[in-house]
């Protein structure tokens, strides 16, 4: 029977790459994003009965509604990928409270709501399931000007470890992926803001970071998707509570 995955933030970037890979692995994917148009376009393109959905992961009701709609459409859920996330650039001293709250709401609360909603569905089904969430190398090492973002990505690792302990008895595994410098619109945004702050040309900050990658190239969404493919597959059934770095060997 075809396995069903939800990937949040899958209208572009890493999430889109993950959705593509999971379809290649034989799954049908609920492509969920705040940008519903992008989500629908990606779903139409990747096929295998994949479908686009609106979700705002920072809104608990929206996340629970998403799971209900997906289960109504496909009959069940096997995998949730909590991929949606946002970045902010700036010093801690300049961070405004409303900006801090916003990134916490999307990057941490979004993951919490996803864990809660998916676990409730997996328990109802009695099937077990897999929850996989986006952390970052910035969740292993604090990066200048990425303070609140780093804090959220450390927190994702914490939630992942605790959820893995609490949900193991229900045969639910909970893991994370921690990418490095992935060439998506998120990095375009980070690079543009770094250029302003450091008064350097566009592309200079990105290149400096790429120069620190042992494998000598920027990361692609497909590089991340290959790891998520494994974490979504029964081959990884004995792995839980882990956040695995996939960064081409960045030397801090
Ligand atoms: P991106 O900015 O290219 O795409 C993010 C997607 O999430 C967009 O389609 C956006 O519409 C959606 N989104 C944003 N807020 C949302 C919300 N509240 N509800 C639903 N969807 C929402 O980002 P990218 O690069 O693809 O990143 C994906 C994940 O990977 C994020 O969690 C990010 O923090 C993480 N990551 C990215 C790295 C990179 O170098 N690009 C490195 C490490 C982690």
Q: Is 27 annotated among the ligand-binding residues?
A: no
CA–CA dist 186, 214 (Å, integer)? 22
For residue 97, the model assigns a pLDDT of 98
Determine whether the shortest distance from the Cβ of 58 to ligand 1 is under 6 A: yes
User: Could you identify the atom of ligand 1 that is nearest to the CA of residue 10?
Assistant: 9
- Bridging pattern class, strands 28-33 and 129-134: unpaired
Please provide the average confidence, as pLDDT, over all residues in the chain.
97
Determine whether the shortest distance from the Cβ of 56 to ligand 1 is under 6 A: yes
Mind telling me the catalytic residues? 149
Q: What percent of the chain has pLDDT over 90?
A: 99
Res. 250: pLDDT tops 80: yes
Determine whether the shortest distance from the Cβ of 184 to ligand 1 is under 6 A: yes
Res. 98: pLDDT tops 90: yes
For residue 1, the model assigns a pLDDT of 92
Domain boundaries along the sequence of the chain = 4-182+220-246
For residue 252, the model assigns a pLDDT of 72
Residue pointed to by tokens 């494998």: 215
Q: Is 13 annotated among the ligand-binding residues?
A: yes
pTM of the model: 0.98
Distance 86 CA to ligand 1 centre (A): 5
Which token pair is 132?
Answer: 């996989």
Determine whether the shortest distance from the Cβ of 228 to ligand 1 is under 6 A: no
Res. 200: pLDDT tops 90: yes
* Cβ burial 114-133 (10 Å sphere, 16+ → b, else e): bbebbbebbeeeeeebbbbb
Residue in 88, 221, 224, 107 with CA at minimum distance from that of residue 154: 107
Res. 196: pLDDT tops 80: yes
Please check whether residue 18 is in contact with residue 8, taking contact to mean a CB–CB distance below 8 angstroms: no
Phi, then psi, of 27 in degrees rounded to 5: -85, 155
Q: Is 68 annotated among the ligand-binding residues?
A: no
Stretch 101-108: mean pLDDT: 98
Q: What percent of the chain has pLDDT over 70?
A: 100
Ligand 1: residue of 54, 84, 103, 223 to mutate (most ligand atoms within 8 A of CB) is 84
Other CB atoms within 10 A of residue 214 CB: 9
Which token pair is 189?
Answer: 């945004």
Label residue 244 by pLDDT band (50, 70, 90): very high
For residue 251, the model assigns a pLDDT of 86
Q: Which fold has domain 4-182+220-246?
A: Rossmann fold (3.40.50)
Label residue 191 by pLDDT band (50, 70, 90): very high
CA–CA dist 149, 245 (Å, integer)? 17
Which token pair is 144?
Answer: 């200048």
């Amino acid at each position: 029977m075809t396995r069903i995955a939800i990937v949040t933030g899958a209208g572009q970037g890493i999430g889109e790459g993950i959705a593509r890979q999971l379809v290649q692995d034989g799954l049908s994917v609920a492509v969920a994003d705040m940008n519903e148009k992008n989500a629908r376009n990606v779903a139409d393109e990747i096929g295998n009965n994949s479908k686009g959905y609106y979700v705002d992961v920072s809104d608990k009701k929206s996340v629970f509604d998403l799971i209900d709609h997906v289960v109504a459409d496909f009959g069940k859920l096997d995998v949730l990928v909590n991929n949606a996330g946002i970045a902010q650039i700036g010093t801690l001293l300049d961070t405004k409270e409303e900006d801090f709250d916003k990134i916490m709401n999307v990057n941490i609360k979004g993951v919490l709501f996803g864990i809660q909603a998916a676990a409730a569905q997996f328990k109802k089904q009695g099937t077990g399931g897999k929850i996989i969430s986006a952390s970052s190398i910035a969740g292993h090492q604090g990066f200048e000007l990425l303070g609140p973002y780093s804090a959220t990505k450390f927190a994702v690792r914490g939630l992942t470890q605790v959820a893995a302990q609490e949900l193991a008895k229900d045969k639910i595994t909970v893991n994370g992926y921690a990418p490095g410098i992935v060439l998506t619109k998120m990095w375009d945004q980070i690079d543009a803001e770094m250029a302003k702050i450091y008064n350097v040309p566009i592309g200079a900050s990105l290149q400096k970071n790429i120069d620190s990658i042992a494998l000598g190239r920027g990361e692609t969404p497909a590089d991340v998707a290959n790891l998520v493919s494994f974490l979504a597959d029964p081959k990884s059934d004995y792995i839980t509570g882990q956040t695995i770095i996939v960064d081409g060997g960045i030397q801090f």
